[in-house]
Amino acid sequence: MPAVDKLLLEEALQDSPQTRSLLSVFEEDAGTLTDYTNQLLQAMQRVYGAQNEMCLATQQLSKQLLAYEKQNFALGKGDEEVISTLHYFSKVVDELNVLHTELAKQLADTMVLPIIQFREKDLTEVSTLKDLFGLASNLFLEHDLSMAKYSRLPKKKENEKVKIDVVKEVAAARRKQHLSSLQYYCALNALQYRKRVAMMEPMIGFAHGQINFFKKGAEMFSQSMDSFLSSVADMVQSIQVELEAEAEKMRVSQQELLSVEESVYAPDFDVAAPQINRNLIQKAGYLNLRNKTGLVTTTWERLYFFTQGGNLMCQPRGAVAGGLIQDLDNCSVMAVDCEDRRYCFQITTPNGKSGIILQAESRKENEEWICAINNISRQIYLTDNPEAVAIKLNQTALQAVTPITSFGKKPESSCPSQNLRNAETEDDKIVSQAAVRADDADELIAPGTPIQFDIVLPATEFLDQNRGSRRINPFGETEDETFPEAEDSLLQQMFVVRFLGSMAVKTDNTTEVIYEAMRQVLAARAIHNIFRTTESHLMVTSQTLRLIDPQTQVTRANFELTSITQFAAHQENKRLVGFVVRTPESTGGQSLSTYVFESNSEGEKICYAINLGKEIIAVQKDPEALAQLMLSIPLTNDGKYVLLNDQPDDNDGSPNENRGAESEA
């Protein structure tokens, strides 16, 4: 017999919208079966009670048997044998239409009684459990209220006694809900087997009664009919065996599911040392969604979320299917503090706009959601073996150094370097696909070098270094006067970037030092779950490279192009870009630092702009060379600013494809 669709007992505790939707299909099937069983019983009772109307009764029975195929059972899988059997019985009933007589006792025992027992025992049991399950809806309301209390537990001022009481309340509500769901699911699963037995068993008794009490029946019920009835009896017996085996499996499974520790019902039972899977490429579960209801008021709604491909979907209770909430491709995700709630994280769109804020119910769920969304945003799911790619990325992260959050001392203000490297080749702008060996990595970056994850310089500190004793306008001021060269610059290009980290390096003779710094910064962020980034505007001019706060327009860092000795973009992750800065020290020596950024567009565009600025510096003293260079560069209509999104692909570090223009100064 083909396998019968069933409700998974393991899904009873989670009570997801998919399980609820499948449960409604089983309930609809049970209701249809109840209606059909009542009609079939009426037809059999008519055969039993109407001696003089036997012909009419058998005609009605024949029609009703044929009607089974037209019931459109939602769970009709495995009913092909039942349908074909009932079709054959319908023909037999038509042939016996003129031969039926009173068979009250035998028909009552072999035909009417089994279907009555099926209706009164099995269908009534399902109906009763359905009513009890409906009454248990108060438990779901109680569980939601308990989860609301738990979600409102403060993060900063945590009352352990209140937390324990709320956790016990949530666990108790979930256990009650779990028990009632398991009993109802088991009854509905068993009904799929009993249904088929109940449909065929009465007809076997009916056929045998006709054979025993009619002399002419021997002529009609030939040996082929006997073999047919024998095969039907064997089929019923096999279904009964399957039912008993399935009932035993469900009983064992139910005992195993109920024998777990009480801690599994607690929302955050493994907060001390959760087992976190960082290789997920899909995730599903309940989250609290933050909704704005006014200028300053918000509400939190508990909904079921799941990932599908590169999309984040949401499915409310009662909904047949989920709806799209957020496209996760190239999005960023980070943990945030929101309204003094625990385990909150925010998804940011590729253009830098703040997206949705969600709250998980435990630390494990929070970190797994962040890791899963981060993996999906890299489009790992599009590879041939996404699980292996995710595992490989996390294994690479485990080989990284252990970082600290800041340097021992703040980097000094950037000063122009007199050592301009004009002999940069095209290979210095393209990321090598080969991994740096361990010995080579030690030559590029000293082992144990600290990594700085915060912004390069605080805004106030940078202003103090550049303004001296100048009075600061508390209502905000622009930095146009601080950098007057920006007005006369031949090149001005703005990029939206996020600072990932910086670290000291030992050499700037090769771009391999940038690739190794990228590897160590990204690996350290993955190991230590540092997902928060600072968004800034990177202004590239023909003289400097400035990092500007997008909110206050205050310059956080300024690098002279002459002090930038190496720069490169990652070949696989097009949005990663880094550069090496040579900074003079007070001792007379020079220090080298690599800065790593993530851009909203291709990193090659930033490299193209930096290279163009350095070329302008190199030919500024030669008017003819400068004019020749400007003739080869596309300009705006006013003939002043370079249009990077319109430049052709060439060997000067231009991007391979124009996937969206950057904003222009």
Report which of 246, 247, 306, 224 is spatially closest to residue 18, judged by C-alpha positions: 306
Considering the domain architecture, whether residues 199 and 291 belong to the same structural domain is answered as no
Considering the domain architecture, whether residues 205 and 245 belong to the same structural domain is answered as no
Do the Cβ atoms of 41 and 114 come closer than 8 Å?
A: no
Query: Bridge partners of 494?
Result: 539
pLDDT tens column, 187-231: 888 888 888 888 888 888 888 877 777 777 677 666 667 788 888
Considering the domain architecture, whether residues 57 and 27 belong to the same structural domain is answered as yes
Considering the domain architecture, whether residues 544 and 452 belong to the same structural domain is answered as yes
Which of 221, 237, 266 finishes a domain?
Answer: 221
Q: How far apart are CA 180 and CA 210, in angstroms?
A: 45
Tokens of 497: 């970037």
Report which of 261, 262, 142, 195 is spatially closest to residue 1, judged by C-alpha positions: 195
Cα-flanking dihedrals φ and ψ of residue 650, to 5°?
A: -145, -165
Q: What DSSP designation does 109 have?
A: I
For residue 74, tell me if it sits in a domain. yes
Tokens of 75: 């769970």
pLDDT at 482: 46
pLDDT at 594: 93
pLDDT tens column, 503-537: 899 888 888 999 989 988 888 887 776 777 778 88
Q: Which long-range contacts (CB under 8 A, 24 or more apart) does 445-449 make?
A: 445/503, 445/504, 445/505, 445/506, 445/513, 445/516, 445/517, 445/520, 446/504, 446/506, 447/401, 448/401, 449/401, 449/503, 449/504, 449/505, 449/520
Do the Cβ atoms of 596 and 456 come closer than 8 Å?
A: no
Considering the domain architecture, whether residues 76 and 112 belong to the same structural domain is answered as yes
For residue 533, tell me if it sits in a domain. yes
- Residue 334 C-alpha from the chain's centroid: 15
Q: How far apart are CA 178 and CA 383, in angstroms?
A: 38
Residue type, 316: P
Report which of 13, 7, 341 is spatially closest to residue 170, judged by C-alpha positions: 13
Q: What is the pTM of this model?
A: 0.44
Q: How far apart are CA 614 and CA 623, in angstroms?
A: 16
Considering the domain architecture, whether residues 522 and 610 belong to the same structural domain is answered as yes
For residue 450, tell me if it sits in a domain. yes
The domain that contains 209 carries what CATH number? 1.20.1270.60
For residue 613, tell me if it sits in a domain. yes
Considering the domain architecture, whether residues 146 and 129 belong to the same structural domain is answered as yes
Do the Cβ atoms of 523 and 484 come closer than 8 Å?
A: no
Considering the domain architecture, whether residues 142 and 184 belong to the same structural domain is answered as yes
The number of domains in the chain is 4
Three-class DSSP category at 245: helix
Considering the domain architecture, whether residues 174 and 146 belong to the same structural domain is answered as yes
Cα-flanking dihedrals φ and ψ of residue 227, to 5°?
A: -65, -35
Three-class DSSP category at 457: coil
Q: How far apart are CA 452 and CA 647, in angstroms?
A: 35
pLDDT at 421: 37
Residues of the chain with pLDDT under 50: 1-4, 399-438, 456-482, 484-487, 641, 643, 645-665
Beta strands in 399-526 (DSSP E): 492-504
Considering the domain architecture, whether residues 138 and 71 belong to the same structural domain is answered as yes
Considering the domain architecture, whether residues 242 and 310 belong to the same structural domain is answered as no
The domain that contains 303 carries what CATH number? 2.30.29.30
For residue 54, tell me if it sits in a domain. yes
Q: How far apart are CA 460 and CA 50, in angstroms?
A: 100
For residue 423, tell me if it sits in a domain. no
For residue 111, tell me if it sits in a domain. yes
From edge to edge, which strands make up the β-sheet containing 298-308? 323-327, 311-315, 298-308, 284-292, 354-359, 341-348, 332-338
Longest Cα separation, the chain:
123
For residue 523, tell me if it sits in a domain. yes
Considering the domain architecture, whether residues 41 and 181 belong to the same structural domain is answered as yes
pLDDT at 195: 87
Q: Which domain holds residue 249?
A: 227-257
Q: How far apart are CA 664 and CA 643, in angstroms?
A: 8
Beta strands in 366-491 (DSSP E): none
pLDDT at 647: 40
pLDDT at 580: 94
Residue type, 56: L
